[in-house]
Amino acid sequence: MLTGGWRGGSGAPRILIVDDDPNLLVLLADQLKGDGFEIQTARDGQEALRRLQSGWPDLLILDMMMARMDGLSLAREIKARADLPIIVLSAIDTADSKAEILEEVAEDYVTKPYHYPELRARVLRVLRRLGDKVPRQSLVLGPDLTLELHHRTAIVGGTPVQLTPTESRLLYALAANLGSTVSTETLLDRGWADTDDADPSYVWVTMRRLRQKIERNPDRPAHVVTVRGVGYRLVGDGVDAPAGQ
């Protein structure tokens, strides 16, 4: 079930791990290096920022509770500069109100003590979307729908609606290919790590729930369009949706 390490082309992805526990830092660096990633480590936020001066990694793995500069401040500072994907690795679980704030800036969240295969699966899932580029600011799809994916929010008829991490990942993949069809397979790949036991029905149901949130009429979707048997396409107003393909 596990897909092992990095098998992509063109050089190993670089990951910066920021954690104030040296034991964990050494171990996790070892584990990820063993799977073919290029690893840098930092003990706190300041050190992380110094490391960033000599080049940006592809991914940041970040502890939330650190002595000098907490994970949230660091994540915000980094996100203000660039769309660097962040995976939070924290002893505080995702249902915590503080985690919720951090989730706004983080791509994914792994609770300590982590299960390495799961962490690796999530790292790979995040890296899969590196080619996808969507605007840093809001994406206006029509008078009644604006996406702010970096805040995990959709503005529906003027009202902000919170998206779940998975919903925003799927929308991110669709938005990166605005107007063209994205296959269910790709969406599955972008939305879930391979430890999530996901199958295409995960995509279908999540899309249906997403439409309930953002479509004016979920039964006649105007923005998230099904291309039956193939996948989905995100369209803005004024963009015609040709049938099929």
Q: Using CB under 8 A as the criterion, which residues of the chain lie in contact with another protein when the complex forms? A: 21, 23-24, 27-28, 30-31, 65, 91-98, 100, 111-116, 164-166, 195-197, 199-202, 204-206, 208-209, 226, 228-229
Decide: residue 84, CB within 10 A, 0-12 exposed, 13-18 middle, 19+ buried: middle
What CA–CA distance (Å, rounded) separates 178 from 140?
11
Helix (H) or strand (E) run with residue 38 in it:
strand 38-42
Is 18 or 52 the residue whose CB approaches another protein more closely? 18
CB of 175 to another protein, least distance (A): 20
CB of 122 to another protein, least distance (A): 12
CB of 26 to another protein, least distance (A): 9
Is 23 or 217 the residue whose CB approaches another protein more closely? 23
Is 1 or 80 the residue whose CB approaches another protein more closely? 1
Is 65 or 130 the residue whose CB approaches another protein more closely? 65
Strands 108-111 and 86-90: parallel
CB of 204 to another protein, least distance (A): 5
Is 100 or 237 the residue whose CB approaches another protein more closely? 100
Residues 6+ apart with CB under 8 A from 225: 232, 233, 234, 235, 241
CB of 133 to another protein, least distance (A): 25
Instruction: Taking each helix axis as running N to C, give the angle between helix 184-191 and helix 200-214, from 0 to 180 degrees, rounded to the nearest 10.
Output: 80
Is 153 or 195 the residue whose CB approaches another protein more closely? 195
8 Å CB contact between 231 and 175: no
CB of 153 to another protein, least distance (A): 14
What CA–CA distance (Å, rounded) separates 67 from 220?
51
What CA–CA distance (Å, rounded) separates 5 from 11?
13
- Give 180-206 as a DSSP string: S-EEHHHHHHHH--TTS---HHHHHHH
